[in-house]
């Protein structure tokens, strides 16, 4: 039996994403072609691998058994393909997810450099402040701020974002400028919650070699970095945000730094990929470039 390796790769992607449509988008081929290749693979193997319904695609028991072996074969084929092709141009799609501000202010403005270096690449960029599910949504790599989560993903810590406390001039005129932690009892914070959840608003500050949270009052809760900064500029409260994203607003006079001796804990920045122990060469190239671009904006964990 001569099993087609490309069909195995398509099977893996459909199984991971649970969708012929999303797999086709990720692989750059029509849904109908994905379906035909999977039917041909099932006919070659003599078994049903996927249970198709109008809403979802699920693995059959035989599909569950095949999936880990198909993943290993696809990965080994990519590794072999790259062994003797270091000098060849990179080609193909790389799907990445980035926080909105990082994409807009840092990554996308320099993207022409990457594409000039590797003209055969096509980069698909998702920008969102929600935490995506990289495997289910078909991303090759994701940039995470804060707890990286997803222990099954592979990656590394790039550095940390130093933090800053900010308020608008109009807010400070109305409420006064806090000089010490006790002054915050008469102040407001803009509350950031990615899920608009019920956790209580607070102000984090350094204390006794660690960090503590001081409960505070808030009149607005937001779930995106842009809304967080906009609410602060509008005079709705104090925010604690990455310094690199606030400097332009401070320079323009829209925001003012407050309590400079009491920043919250630096936020770790991690770059993760979904390809197990060895990512394809095109993915490694994009990740190396992102690391290079972000380096001037990040501090070392102890620095």
Q: What is the pLDDT of residues 227-248, one digit of tens each?
A: 999 999 999 999 999 998 899 9
Domain ranges of the chain: 5-83, 92-161+268-297, 163-265
Q: Which of 58 and 270 is assigned the larger pLDDT?
A: 270
Taking 60 as the threshold, does the pLDDT of residue 85 lie above it?
no
pLDDT tens sequence across 165-184: 999 999 999 999 999 999 99
Mean pLDDT of the region 261-286: 88
More confident residue, 75 or 127: 127
pLDDT tens readout for residues 94-107:
999 999 889 999 99
CATH architecture of structural domain 163-265: 3-Layer(aba) Sandwich (3.40)
Q: Which CATH class is domain 5-83?
A: mainly alpha
Q: What pLDDT is stored for residue 23 in this prediction?
A: 82
- Is 59 in a helix, a strand, or coil? strand
**Is-same-fold flag (92-161+268-297; 163-265)?**
yes
Mean pLDDT computed over every residue of the chain: 87
Q: What is the pLDDT of residue 84?
A: 57
Report the distance separating Cα 251 and Cα 289, nearest Å. Answer: 29
Q: What global pTM score does this model have?
A: 0.71
How far is the C-alpha of 75 from the C-alpha of 279, rounded, in Å? Answer: 8
Question: Which residues 6+ apart lie within 8 Å of 194 measured at CB?
Answer: 129, 130, 131, 223
Q: For residue 78, is pLDDT > 80?
A: no
Q: Which residue, chain included where needed, has tokens 């979904």?
A: 274
Q: Report the share of the chain in percent with pLDDT over 70.
A: 93
DSSP secondary structure letter of residue 80? H
Question: What is d(CA 198, CA 126) in angstroms, rounded to the nearest whole number?
Answer: 27
And the tokens for 36? 């035909």
pLDDT at residue 183, rounded to an integer: 95
Which range has the worst mean pLDDT, 59-68, 94-103, 290-299?
Answer: 59-68
In the three-class reduction of DSSP (H, G, I as helix; E, B as strand; rest coil), residue 154 is classed as strand
Fold of 92-161+268-297: D-Maltodextrin-Binding Protein; domain 2 (3.40.190)
Which of the two residues, 93 and 220, has the higher pLDDT score? Answer: 220
pLDDT band at 191 (very low <50, low <70, confident <90, very high): very high
């Amino acid at each position: 039996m001569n099993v087609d390796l490309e069909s195995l790769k398509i099977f893996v992607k459909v199984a991971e994403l649970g969708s012929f449509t999303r797999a086709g988008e990720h692989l750059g081929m029509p849904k109908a072609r994905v379906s035909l290749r999977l039917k041909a693979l099932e006919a070659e193997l003599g078994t049903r691998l996927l249970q198709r319904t109008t809403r979802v695609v699920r693995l059959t028991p035989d599909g569950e058994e095949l999936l880990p072996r198909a993943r290993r074969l696809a990965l080994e084929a990519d590794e072999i393909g790259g062994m003797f092709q270091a000098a060849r141009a990179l080609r193909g799609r790389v799907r990445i997810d980035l926080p909105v501000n990082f994409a807009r202010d840092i990554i996308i403005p320099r993207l022409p450099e990457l594409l000039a270096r590797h003209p055969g690449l096509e980069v698909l960029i998702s920008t969102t402040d929600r935490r995506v599910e990289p495997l289910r949504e078909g991303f090759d790599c994701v940039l995470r701020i804060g707890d990286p989560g997803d222990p099954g993903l592979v990656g590394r810590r790039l550095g940390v974002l130093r933090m800053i406390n900010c308020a608008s001039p109009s807010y400070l005129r109305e409420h006064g400028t806090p000089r010490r932690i006790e002054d915050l009892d008469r102040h407001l914070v803009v509350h950031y919650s990615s899920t608009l959840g019920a956790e209580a608003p607070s102000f984090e500050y350094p204390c006794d070699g660690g960090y503590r949270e001081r409960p505070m009052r808030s009149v607005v809760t937001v779930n995106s970095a842009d809304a967080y900064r906009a609410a602060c500029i509008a005079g709705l409260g104090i925010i604690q945000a990455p310094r690199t994203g606030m400097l332009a607003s401070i320079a323009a006079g829209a925001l003012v730094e407050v309590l400079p001796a009491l920043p919250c804990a630096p936020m770790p920045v991690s770059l993760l990929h979904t390809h197990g122990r060895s990512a394809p060469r095109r993915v490694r190239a994009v990740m190396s470039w992102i690391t290079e671009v972000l380096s001037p904006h990040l501090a070392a964990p102890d620095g």
